[in-house]
């Protein structure tokens, strides 16, 4: 939702004044990291990118653990683990080591796609089920 420039301005002391709204940042929380700083790639000793540590900013166990699980399901991945080195630092290290058939970047990409696909599937199945079994569910109620 974009803020329109003709929005009414709410002043704590005076509710009648008007003003323009500034554009709002996108993201699912108040804390938004620049997308370029979102991820860092720390390659291992070899240049072939098979063993890589990804550093994700502003992510927690939600993505870390889920991604780790999904990436480990990839048969070409030898190892995947994650850690959050310090709880007050919004930083997540994701280590991916793969066999020769793929590389860590591909494995992470596939992991992200698989996870999103899985979520989409659960979502669509959920919608289907909830509509057919007659719950008192009304998507238009909101």
Question: Binding residues for another protein, per CB under 8 A?
Answer: 1, 3-4, 7-13, 15, 19, 21-22, 24-25, 27-30, 35-36, 38-41, 45-47, 54, 56, 59-63, 65-66, 68-70, 73, 105, 108-109, 112-116, 118-123, 125-127, 129-130, 133-137, 139, 141-142
Cβ 63 to another protein, closest distance in Å? 5
The residue (of 41 and 99) whose beta carbon lies closer to another protein is: 41
Cβ 30 to another protein, closest distance in Å? 6
Residues 50 and 44: beta-carbon distance below 8 Å: yes
The residue (of 99 and 116) whose beta carbon lies closer to another protein is: 116
Cβ 85 to another protein, closest distance in Å? 18
Angle at the Cα of 85 from the Cα atoms of 79 and 78, rounded to 5 degrees: 0
The residue (of 53 and 68) whose beta carbon lies closer to another protein is: 68
Cβ 115 to another protein, closest distance in Å? 5
Residues 67 and 48: beta-carbon distance below 8 Å: no
Cβ 95 to another protein, closest distance in Å? 15
The residue (of 99 and 121) whose beta carbon lies closer to another protein is: 121
Say how many C-beta atoms besides its own lie within 10 A of residue 67's C-beta.
Answer: 23
CA distance 140 to 30: 28
Say how many C-beta atoms besides its own lie within 10 A of residue 106's C-beta.
Answer: 17
Query: Coil, strand or helix: which one is 28?
Result: coil
What is the sign of the dihedral through the CA atoms of 130, 134, 140 and 142? negative
């Amino acid at each position: 939702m974009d803020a329109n420039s003709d929005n009414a301005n709410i002043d704590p002391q005076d509710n009648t004044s008007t003003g323009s709204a500034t554009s709002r940042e996108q993201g699912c929380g108040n804390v938004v990291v620049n997308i370029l700083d979102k991820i860092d790639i720390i390659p291992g000793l070899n240049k072939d990118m098979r063993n890589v540590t990804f550093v994700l900013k502003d992510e927690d166990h939600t993505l870390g653990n889920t991604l780790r699980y999904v990436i480990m399901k990839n048969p070409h991945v030898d190892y995947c683990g994650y850690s959050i080195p310090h709880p007050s630092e919004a930083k997540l290290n994701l280590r991916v080591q793969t066999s020769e058939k793929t590389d860590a970047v591909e494995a992470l990409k596939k992991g992200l796609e698989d996870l999103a696909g899985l979520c989409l599937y659960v979502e669509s199945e959920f919608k289907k089920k909830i509509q057919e079994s007659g719950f008192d569910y009304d998507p238009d109620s909101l």
